[in-house]
Amino acid sequence: MSPQTKTVKDYIRTIADFPHEGILFRDVTTLFADPRGFRMAIDQMLHPWAGQQIDKIVGLEARGFILGGAIAHQLSKGFVPIRKKGKLPGQTISQAYSLEYGEAVMEMHEDAIAPGEKVLIVDDLLATGGTCGAGIKLIERVGGEIVGCSFIVDLPELGGRKLLEDLGMNVHVLCEFEGA
């Protein structure tokens, strides 16, 4: 396939039985490693928000940091990481969310987003929407206004897009894969 006809999805590798048996892992590191594919993904993640005011880019741990940094650079805007509990050094606010088995907690620096700032949330994969949902609550708690959420991959069977749209979010994805 020539580079001109490749889509973002063509750059993503699927690895069977990782991290557990029965899982089809959608590996975006092959997309990140290819300069043409990576640029295509960043450009396409930004396209729906062209002309809108965006003050900060929020990246969700961990691959969202790679995307968020590149997007923030492209727009000359600030980048804010939302991380797993205990990873940020300053004063933080926390938000718990449910996992298949148990609970996880995400954190953000309490002074990372000012009230009224317009925020774009980015990550590589939308599955159940739990991590992004926690991020939305953190941003809204400090008064940030979310313009949208942008992902490379959606796993529609897991219902994350519906969860985020039910929260009033404008969701943009570059491609979908069936199966978990």
The CATH number of the domain holding residue 150 is 3.40.50.2020
pLDDT confidence of 63, banded at 50, 70, 90? Answer: very high
Residue 40: inside a domain? no
57 assigned to some structural domain: yes
Is 136 part of any domain?
A: yes
| Distance between CA atoms of residues 26 and 167, nearest Å | 26
Q: Which of 63, 140, 141, 145 is catalytic?
A: 63
pTM over 0.85: yes
Helices 63-75 & 35-46 angle (0-180, nearest 10):
70
Does the annotation mark 117 as catalytic?
A: no
Q: Is residue 1 part of a domain?
A: no
**Strand 118-126's sheet: what is its strand order?**
92-99, 102-109, 78-84, 56-60, 118-126, 145-154, 171-176
Give the tokens for residue 173: 């994805």
The active-site residue, picked from 13, 21, 83, 100, is 100
Number of separate domains in the chain: 1
- To the query of whether residue 36 is one of the catalytic residues in this protein, the response is no
Residue 150 is assigned to a structural domain of this protein: yes
pLDDT at 174 over 90: yes
Whether 149 is covered by a domain: the verdict is: yes
12 in any annotated domain: no
Residue 65 is part of which domain span? 52-176
What pLDDT score was predicted for residue 3?
A: 65
Write the single-letter amino acid at 16.
A
In a domain, 14, yes or no: no
For residue 180, name the pLDDT band (cuts at 50, 70, 90).
low
